[in-house]
Each structure stands twice: as C-alpha cells, then as structure tokens.
Amino acid sequence: MSHATTQNLSHLCQATYLGELGVSPEEFDADPMGSLDRVGQYDALSLLHAGRRPLLPAQVRLRRELEQQWDAAGTPVARRPRAVGVRGAQCVFRSIVTGHFAKA
C-alpha cells in the first residue's frame, strides 16, 4: 500500500471515530468497509461524499440502541443509504483511498 493510500485510510479512520468506537487500526486496515458496518458507521462514506461529517460516537451508539429496539419490535432498519448503496460506497471508498476525494 502506498504512503498516500495509508494516509487517506488513516484520515478515514479518524474522521469516522473508529478508534473511539473500539476498532483497532489493524482491524480497519484488514477490512475497512466491514469495520464501518460493524460499529454502525455504515453511512459514513455517503455522508463524506455529500460533504457532511460522519456521526459522532455518541450518535452512533444511540442509533445502534434505537436500531436494536426497532429490530426487536419487528421493524427492520435499512442499514445502507439508498443514495449511494453498496456499489456507490465502494466507489467512494476507492476515491478516498486513491486520494481523489476532498477531506472533510
């Protein structure tokens, strides 16, 4: 991995507060998209793509609690933003990794 790619991944990890949400740099390096999904920052790339900041850790925790309650009540939650979706998120992720993305 190039130095620029490493820097961009590092920025993404910091911008999405993954360290504060319990994701180690090694876990993030091994599976960036999975790390975002696992902690509840699944829409972070869409937010960055739209020029917005990802959720703060307290917001992520609250959303996880609410989603668990909704799931328990039989109201499933769509965990992928429709505007970008999986393919779009992968494109945004690639643009971040290659440095063709403005940092928030």
Residues in the chain: 104
Let me know if 76 is exposed, middle or buried by CB neighbors in 10 A (0-12, 13-18, 19+).
exposed
pLDDT digits (tens, 9 = 90+) for 58-99: 999 999 999 899 999 998 877 765 445 555 555 666 666 555
Cα dist from 55 to 69, 78, 82, 99, whole Å: 19, 17, 17, 22
pLDDT digits (tens, 9 = 90+) for 9-49: 788 889 999 999 999 988 988 888 889 999 999 888 888 88
pTM above 0.85, yes or no: no
